[in-house]
Amino acid sequence: MAALGAAGQREPYHRLLRLLPRGPWIPRGGLQRMLHPFPRQQECGLQVLEQMERYGVMPDAETRFLLLGIFGPRSRPVRKCQRMLYWLPRLRHADPHPLPPRLPPPGLAAARLGLRRIANDPDARLTVYQPPYPASGADEGSQQPYIIGSQSEEQRELLARHGPERPVFVEGPFPLWLRSTRLEYYVLRGDPLPPHLTPPPDPERSLYYPLYLDLDLERGPWDDDNFDVDEVEEGPVFALCMAGAGDQRTLAKWLAGLQETNPVLGRTPVLFRLGGGTAAAPPQP
| 198 and 63 fall within a common domain | no
Cβ atoms 22, 70 nearer than 8 A: yes
Average pLDDT for residues 70-84, to the nearest whole number? 92
Average pLDDT for residues 228-248, to the nearest whole number? 78
What is the residue range of 166's domain? Answer: 108-209+233-281
Please identify, among 65, 91, 117, the residue that sits at the C-terminal boundary of a domain: 91
The H or E element containing residue 154 is helix 153-162
| 117 and 255 fall within a common domain | yes
Average pLDDT for residues 16-29, to the nearest whole number? 89
| 172 and 74 fall within a common domain | no
Please identify, among 91, 119, 139, the residue that sits at the C-terminal boundary of a domain: 91
In this structure, of 1-5, 190-194, 277-281, the range with the lowest mean pLDDT score is 277-281
Cβ atoms 119, 152 nearer than 8 A: yes
| 112 and 87 fall within a common domain | no
Helices 39-54 and 76-91 sit at what angle, rounded to 10 degrees?
10
Say which residue, 121 or 6, is predicted with more confidence. 6
Query: Does residue 74 sit within a domain?
Result: yes
Percentage with pLDDT > 90 across the chain: 36
pLDDT, one tens digit per residue, over 88-130 is 888 888 877 788 878 888 889 999 999 998 887 778 889 999 8
- For the chain, the residue count is 285
| 35 and 169 fall within a common domain | no
Is the pLDDT score of 282 beyond 50? no
| 123 and 43 fall within a common domain | no
Average pLDDT for residues 166-183, to the nearest whole number? 89
Instruction: Please report the pLDDT score of residue 166 as a whole number.
Output: 86
| 61 and 136 fall within a common domain | no
The three-class DSSP label of residue 43 is: helix
Query: Does residue 204 sit within a domain?
Result: yes
